[in-house]
Amino acid sequence: MRLLLALLLIPFVVPAQFNKPFVAKADLYYSRLEYSGDGLFGFEQNGKIGYMDINQKIIIPPTLDLKLTTNDKIPNFTNGYAAIKLNGKFGAIDKTGKTVIPHEYSTLWIYSSPKNIIKVSKEVDKKTVYGLINTQNKILIPVEYSSLTVDSNLVVVYKNLKYGLQDITGKELLPLEYNSLTTFSKEKVARAEKGNQYGFIDLKGNWIFEKTKSVFTLYDCFNGMIKCKVNYKYGYLDMKGNEAIITKYDNAEDFSQNGLARVVKSNAETKYKMLYGYINKKGDEVIPTIYETLSLFKNDLAYAKDPETNRFGYFDKTGKWAIKPIYLNISNHFDRYGGSWVKMTDDKLHYINRTGKDLGTIDSVGTSSRDFDTEYVISADLSYPYVLIDQKGAVLKTIEDCDGIYSFAENMAGYKSKKTGLYGFVDINGNKIIDAAYTGFNGFSDGLMRVSQSINGKTKNGYIDTKGEKIIPLEYETATNFKEGWAVVTKDSAYYFIDKKGNRKEPARRYDVLTEFRSGFSLGTVKNKTGLNSYYYIDATLKEVFSIQAKNAYPIWEDVAVINRDTTYELINKKGESVKVLNGINFLKFTNQGKLAVRQGKKWGFIDTKGNTVIAMQYDSCDSFVGEYAKIMMDGKWGIIDHSGKIIIKPEYKNIIPGEDGTFVILNSNWGVIDKTGKVIAEEKFNSITPFVKNRALARLGKSFTILKSPLRK
């Protein structure tokens, strides 16, 4: 039964929206968010840890470099202090982020009670030793004991195989001379063993009573009763050591503040089935030992399974049903706010108060629950939906049934269906306009898009228009985008040019490779065994304008093409004439806006169409110009420059995507948007963002968190 009850409280991730009474804050986008005690929430941003309050006011900025792993918890605050580990050592900070305890301890534990007391340990001569300090870093008990246990204002210390007792100021109450010692501060007694003496003592070391250890096993002392065991049966002693309740139970718990203790007897039919009940200090059964399921009391209520109805309810401390047994299942206690989770006959988990009033399910599905024994509970949404956003990051539309999204081209973008794995298309407003029916596609170009489908087990390509109409049948093995009025396709392994009506034109010769048109030219390649291939530059009339022999050649880039006759890059013009040999250039990237990205040695820069250096070789990497801007990398971080080489955005991002209008998509821990002044216009809350087109982009929301509270919280 314990396993089943525990499962009720597992914080399942569900896609359903939480009901409003349970929501304290929603749609919080961080890499990590955890409730960290003292009304604070630890969060991770750009790889750093910070803390905020429930209103998202930053209490400690995200500057703490804690290097947490996936399984690590963000450190909790207790009475205004948190234990922080740096460089393998623990220290403590206050709620301003100030270090109040230096990072010099192997472990550090901050007690909630008594306040301002901290247990610490160090490694000395390969052994762990413990001590006690306060939050002002004053040593209360020296760090020299093999173990140390705090019980309110009492501290049991262990050293040289002996136990002693001190108070939290370090004053000795009992010397190190006991074989075992356990304190019970509320009762002002201790269970002790010293030589052959075994029993309970007061805090001055006087024996209250002794017992024969071979007969009695003594346990804890609570509310004036001491649990004990004789001959494998449990009972209770009073504070003088007298048998108040004889040892007759197969198991027993301590007496709680309501004056009751849970006891267990084996079922007469089978010794393996236990029956539970409750007794008072006189030994009377307030709740008879007939229940196969009966919890411990918490907040004066205990749940039980009624043998007659086989349903669950709650007993009060008088043994009466405070909440009648009408539930299919039940959680193990009422939380700090007086709420509990129960499974009703609608097969959903409902939250009830101590009178049984139904406060509803946590969401529309009703299959999950949350334990509100802490002030707040954090729930992560891992659905990561795809959305249409504006440049401020506002979500304009959610793209349903979407498992992938692709950039806008001619105001349309492709998406992948979760259900089928096929591709369809949305318009600039996020509306689905072409159903997901294709296995692949290219972006729209010149009003047509290449699409593919599997036909008789083979991939075939054709073209559709912006309405989804098939303009050119899907019959080609490969197909490129339309440029200059032409596309390049293959059929029966041969290349052809086709126009927008689907008319095929054979090229001047059979090429091994034929590229789509760019800057007015297509490039045909005939591979030769000599090592120098033949390259033919073909204009929009399908005429071979010129040809060259080279090791490698590339399509026309604006007014020039790049070729490599041996080991050196060279620029040629649209007539095939040499413009400039690019001595010292060992790598290049094709770009636009009149500039070519090139690498000289280990540094990147830009040259113009005449081969002149226009932006010096100074970057670790760089990429194409988009409008007025290009991305550059320095020291492993990306930034933005303009055409003059002036740094517009300092290199400080993991990635950055320039936009034509000076809007930049940035990545640190998540994706966001900034303008050309560096001002954040959309917070970093996205898993991905496409470039903006007409102030619209397609994005995937990152991990979002909801802070939940008990509806009974005042």
pLDDT-based confidence at residue 270 (cuts at 50, 70, 90): low
Answer yes or no: are the C-beta atoms of 316 and 287 closer than 8 Å: no
Q: Per DSSP, what are the bridge partners of residue 494?
A: 491
- Indicate the number of domains in the chain: 1
Task: Locate 73 and state its tokens.
Answer: 């918890």
CA 165 from centroid of its chain's CA atoms: 45
Over the stretch 166-197, which tens digit does the pLDDT of each residue have? Answer: 999 999 999 999 999 999 999 999 999 999 99
- SS3 assignment, position 396: strand
Q: What gap in Å lies between CA 54 and CA 548, rounded to an integer? A: 69
Over the stretch 359-391, which tens digit does the pLDDT of each residue have? Answer: 999 998 999 999 999 999 999 988 889 999 998
Q: Which of 1-5, 306-310, 580-584 has the lowest mean pLDDT?
A: 1-5
Alpha carbons within 13 A on the beta-carbon side of 79: 12
Please, what is the end-to-end C-alpha distance for the chain in angstroms? 33
Q: Per DSSP, what are the bridge partners of residue 518?
A: 521
Q: What gap in Å lies between CA 496 and CA 505, rounded to an integer? A: 6
Could you tell me if residue 9 is inside a domain?
no
The C-alpha angle with vertex 372 and arms to 11 and 358, in degrees rounded to 5, equals 95
Q: Please give the backbone phi and psi of residue 135, each rounded to the nearest 5 degrees, phi first.
A: -75, -5
Over the stretch 423-457, which tens digit does the pLDDT of each residue have? Answer: 999 999 999 999 999 999 998 899 999 999 999 99
Rg (CA), the chain: 38
Q: What gap in Å lies between CA 525 and CA 538, rounded to an integer? A: 11
Supply the pLDDT for residue 530.
81
Q: Is residue 73 packed enough to be buried (19+ CB in 10 Å), middle (13-18) or exposed (0-12)?
A: exposed
CA 436 from centroid of its chain's CA atoms: 31
Q: What gap in Å lies between CA 132 and CA 638, rounded to an integer? A: 48
Spell 29-57 as b/e; 16+ CB within 10 A means b.
Answer: bbbbbbbbbbebbbbbbeebbbbbeeeee
Could you tell me if residue 57 is inside a domain?
yes
Q: Which of 305, 290, 285 is nearest to 245 (CA)?
A: 285
Supply the pLDDT for residue 15.
47
The C-alpha angle with vertex 409 and arms to 406 and 415, in degrees rounded to 5, equals 30
Over the stretch 131-157, which tens digit does the pLDDT of each residue have? Answer: 999 999 999 999 999 999 999 999 999
Could you tell me if residue 69 is inside a domain?
yes
Q: What is the mean pLDDT of the chain?
A: 93
Asked if residue 343 has pLDDT above 80, the reply is yes
Could you tell me if residue 82 is inside a domain?
yes
Give the structural domain span for 92.
42-145
Q: What gap in Å lies between CA 27 and CA 442, rounded to an integer? A: 34
Q: What gap in Å lies between CA 142 and CA 130, rounded to an integer? A: 8
pLDDT-based confidence at residue 8 (cuts at 50, 70, 90): very low
Asked if residue 564 has pLDDT above 70, the reply is yes
Q: Which helix (H) or strand (E) holds 315?
A: strand 312-315
Supply the pLDDT for residue 10.
32
Could you tell me if residue 655 is inside a domain?
no
Asked if residue 45 has pLDDT above 90, the reply is no
Q: Please give the backbone phi and psi of residue 552, each rounded to the nearest 5 degrees, phi first.
A: -145, 145
Could you tell me if residue 58 is inside a domain?
yes
- In percent, the amount of the chain with pLDDT more than 70 equals 97
Task: Locate 572 and state its tokens.
Answer: 């040629």
Could you tell me if residue 136 is inside a domain?
yes
Answer yes or no: are the C-beta atoms of 620 and 646 closer than 8 Å: no
Q: Is residue 583 packed enough to be buried (19+ CB in 10 Å), middle (13-18) or exposed (0-12)?
A: exposed
Give the position of tokens 């517009």.
648
The residues, ordered by sequence, that sit 6+ positions from 176 with a Cβ below 8 Å of its Cβ are: 157, 159, 160, 162, 163, 164
Over the stretch 68-124, which tens digit does the pLDDT of each residue have? Answer: 888 899 999 999 999 999 999 999 999 999 999 999 999 999 999 999 999 999 999
HEC-encoded secondary structure of 430-462: CCEEEEEEECEECCCECCEEEEEEEECCEEEEE
Q: Please give the backbone phi and psi of residue 390, each rounded to the nearest 5 degrees, phi first.
A: -95, -175
Supply the pLDDT for residue 3.
28
pTM of the model: 0.76
pLDDT-based confidence at residue 268 (cuts at 50, 70, 90): low
Could you tell me if residue 28 is inside a domain?
no
Task: Between 75 and 591, name the one with better pLDDT.
Answer: 75
- SS3 assignment, position 384: coil
